[in-house]
A and B are shown apart, each in its own frame.
Chain A
Amino acid sequence: GNSVTQMEGPVTLSEEAFLTINCTYTATGYPSLFWYVQYPGEGLQLLLKATKADDKGSNKGFEATYRKETTSFHLEKGSVQVSDSAVYFCALRADSWGKLQFGAGTQVVVTP
């Protein structure tokens, strides 16, 4: 079946550091890939998405590229801020009716 694996947290960084969160997937066909962010006490917000191989999603300084050859969708940000502290979820959507399959989530803590 389909699955999403992402690196375990927590990831602790200093402000302005470079962030990478690894995400790999297993799926048949050509899934769409997503990164969602969950701030403390809130619901999930879509951060970025990519719907086909080699697509790059980007938003708020975050980027991720859909790599079919390595079945990966790693999230990166060049310079994190304290406000980026949150839990980040990688997800895939493999069927047309749209249910999302999530990774375990990675907590990111950014310190001043």
Chain B
Amino acid sequence: DTGVSQDPRHKITKRGQNVTFRCDPISEHNRLYWYRQTLGQGPEFLTYFQNEAQLEKSRLLSDRFSAERPKGSFSTLEIQRTEQGDSAMYLCASSLASGGLDQPQHFGDGTRLSIL
């Protein structure tokens, strides 16, 4: 179990630029989640994959955001035309699909995005 890996850890970019983050889940985990966390708040759900299928997207995920998990392994989260309000920590988590509500999610260390 090597844990959930996220890359990069930090990203600083100018407003209007596009950014892409990568998440590598624990290898046997079918479920993959993206969350956004702003300063002083708890993480907020963005989107969820089971294998390669994106099964739910939060209303927080505007059309500037897109997430993929093409082969059911790693996932990418892209933000186009970044805005100041996109500055946040983006967290990825994964879990086994064999369990139900009791299945814990395992989190990566996140990507901190700063928009200049």
Is B one of A's binding partners?
no
Binding site for B on A (CB under 8 A): none
